Amino acid sequence: MVALQIRDVPEPLRDQLVALAKQRGQSLQAFLYELVRDEVRRNDNIAVLKKFSPVTWDLAFADREIVVALDAERGERDAAIDEAFTRPGVER
């Protein structure tokens, strides 16, 4: 195995990491190892999703685009409801 070293970690940050490790009943080394391992796994999962999914996951819409889309859909819905109630023999 390879040893990794992180330099210039502020003491307060190190103290917080030690406290988090203690809460889990782990050594600081075991805790940090899990953090690094989990981060790599998440990136692997994202890579697999991108490879096999035809869906684009970048859903960054502007607020205005969302409002316009909702208004359009609501307008179509309301028109369909109005049409259904204006047929002969149908009362509101």
For residue 43, what pLDDT is reported?
Answer: 77
The model's pLDDT over 71-84, given as tens digits with 9 standing for 90+, comes to: 899 988 888 888 87
Which alpha helices (H) appear in the chain, and where do they start and end? 11-23, 28-52, 63-85
**Domain boundaries of the chain, sorted by first residue:** 9-54, 61-92
pLDDT value of position 80 = 85
At which residue do the structure tokens 């208004």 appear? Answer: 71
87-92 mean pLDDT: 60
Q: What pLDDT, on the 0 to 100 scale, is given for residue 92? A: 52
Return contacts of 45-50, CB within 8 angstroms, 24+ apart: none
pTM above 0.75, yes or no: no
